[in-house]
Amino acid sequence: MHAILSKKTFHHQTDHPANNKGVKANLEFYSKREYSLDENRMSFERLRVYQKNCWQKYKMAVREILLLGNPKLYEISAPVLKEELEGLKSVIEDLHDTMLDFKHKYGAGRAIAAPQIGVMKRLIYMYIQHPTVFINPVMDQESEDMMTVWDDCMSFPELLVKVKRYRSFRLTYRDQQWREQTATMEDDLSELLQHEYDHLDGVLAVSKAVDAKSFALRNQRKFLCSV
């Protein structure tokens, strides 16, 4: 006995606005293929899983954020090569989706570094009013003036750490069109991008704590005096 999976079965999916050629081709492949109910019960199970994954892809590509304790967070990331740019587009989309998902859960999140989702490349994604991608960033011209701040991180969302950061510095990087850009980062942006830059070198804010009393759980922040 054979069951034929008709194209109509997937009508709602092929009409989905987020559909793409790859998914459509796969659905057509499944629609044309004949399955024996007796012999290929597993094929249906695979199809069910495939459909579920398709829907997840349509909605958002939220990746798992590596958490404190994962040794990958201490690795040094490799520079991005120009020929890798095209392949990194989906990583940038994933960083965006993952950060927005985090922001929805925790009410915070302005930037994320690629190694935080396990992509060991020197790439930072920031979204403040509009998206900015920093590829192979290099820091220099750090100010003598330092500031002390309570820092947080998507890789340890419940923890705050008191650290010292440069008040300002210069950042040279490549944008998504591989053009070299230079910007001076000050105050909030300086603090934020030093944090993300550290991720590329496998350095976490917990390693930069000012002293032994520089840790606090987020829900205890009412006890934190101004720094």
* Active-site annotation holds for 180: no
C-beta of residue 122 within 8 angstroms of C-beta of residue 111: no
The rounded distance, in Å, linking the Cα atoms of 192 and 126 is: 9
Query: Could you identify the residue written with the tokens 């705050």?
Result: 160
C-beta of residue 138 within 8 angstroms of C-beta of residue 171: yes
Q: Is 126 in the site for Zn ion (CB under 5 A)?
A: no
CB 81 to Zn ion: min, Å? 24
Question: Cα–chain-centroid distance for residue 118?
Answer: 9
Closer by beta carbon to Zn ion, 5 or else 62: 62
Closer by beta carbon to Zn ion, 47 or else 185: 185
The rounded distance, in Å, linking the Cα atoms of 78 and 76 is: 7
Q: Can you give the three-state secondary structure of 149-207, one letter per residue? A: EEECCCCCCCEEEEEEEECEEEEEEECCCCCEEEEEEEHHHHHHHHHHHHHHCCCCHHH
SS3 for 94?
A: helix
CA distances for 42 relative to 127, 177, 193, angstroms: 43, 45, 48
Active-site choice (64, 142, 191, 196): 196
Closer by beta carbon to Zn ion, 92 or else 196: 196
CB 103 to Zn ion: min, Å? 14
Residues 129-158 that bind Zn ion (CB under 5 A): 153
Number of residues that bind Zn ion (CB under 5 A): 1
Q: Is 47 in the site for Zn ion (CB under 5 A)?
A: no
Closer by beta carbon to Zn ion, 87 or else 131: 131
CB 153 to Zn ion: min, Å? 3
CB 107 to Zn ion: min, Å? 16
Please say whether the dihedral angle defined by the alpha carbons of residues 163, 204, 68 and 59, taken in this order, is positive or negative. positive
Closer by beta carbon to Zn ion, 102 or else 173: 102
CB 16 to Zn ion: min, Å? 34
Residues 153-182 that bind Zn ion (CB under 5 A): 153
Contacts of 104 (CB under 8 A, 6+ apart): none
Which residues are identified as catalytic?
Answer: 196
User: Would you tell me which residues interact with Zn ion (CB under 5 A)?
Assistant: 153
